[in-house]
Amino acid sequence: MQILDSWIQKTARKLAHTTSRRSFIGRFGGLMVGGATLPLLPVARATANERPSVPNDAGIEGSEGDPLSCDYWRNCAMDGFMCGYCGGSLTSCPPGTEFSPVTWIGTCRNPADDRDYIISYNDCCGKSSCNRARCNRNEGDKPNYLPSKSNDIIWCMGTSNNIYHCTVTLVLGLAVK
């Protein structure tokens, strides 16, 4: 499984870095589901060590630069409770919850450098709804028949249970068109 995991990670990462959102959907939409093993994509391995650097958000004016705001640029495809209000942060789960390794992926434009980034929206699981700071933006969100692009799915998958608590927002890398 480790070899498979590692392969999936590398493949997902390479694709995320080199493929635009639209061609992503076009080429791989049909492959996302139906497999007996973990789906090929989207698999955002939140535990991966390498993390591409992003420009400092401090230079962004207004709520687009505030990680606790729904308007924050990384939240463009968000639909859920923001973990920063639930005992976690933009990128970390609240105490006692479980970090879901499988999730959906969006593409958001960073106003600081005007570039698109691949964003992974991972759910924190195992406690009932945080019910604070709901954020519903849906840029690029697709219906549930395209699960890889749908934020209406409870992505507590690969965790010990699928009870939804809140959602974090991780940068995976640049989206290259």
Partner 1 sequence: MLLHTENAIMNKIKLKTVLFLLSASLLSGSFCFAENPPVAIDKFGVIESVPAKPGPHWLWVNDTNFISFSDGRAHLIDGDTGYYFGSLNTGYVHAKLVLPSHYREIYSAETYYSRHVGGTRSDMVRIYDPINLSLIDEIMIPNKRATTIPRTTNNALTEDARFMSVFNMTPATSVSIVDLEKREFVGEIELPGCALTMPAGGQRFFSLCSDGAALTYVLDKEGKLESKLRSKPFFSVDKDPVLENGVQYGKLWLFPSVEGMLYSVDVSEEKLKFPKPWSLLDKNDRSEGWRTGGMQQIAVNEPHSLLYSIMHQGPAETYEHAGPEVWVYDLKTKKRIRRIVTKRMALSIHVSPDDKPLLFSLPETEPTLDIYDALNGEHLRSVTELGVTPFLMETPPYN
Q: Name which of 13 and 165 has its Cβ closer to partner 1.
A: 165
Q: Which helix (H) or strand (E) element contains residue 172? A: strand 164-174
CB 112 within 8 A of CB 59: yes
Catalytic annotation, pick one of 104, 116, 141, 155: 104
Q: Does 26 bind partner 1 (CB under 8 A)?
A: yes
CB 170 within 8 A of CB 122: yes
CB 163 within 8 A of CB 156: yes
Per-residue interface string for the shown chain with partner 1, residues 34-73, x marking contact by CB under 8 A: xxx--x----------------------------------
Tell me the C-alpha distance between 91 and 84, whole Å: 8
Catalytic annotation, pick one of 73, 79, 116, 123: 123
Chain positions contacting partner 1, by CB under 8 A: 22, 25-26, 29-36, 39, 79, 102, 126-129, 131, 136-147, 150, 152-154, 156-157, 160-164
Catalytic annotation, residues: 104, 123
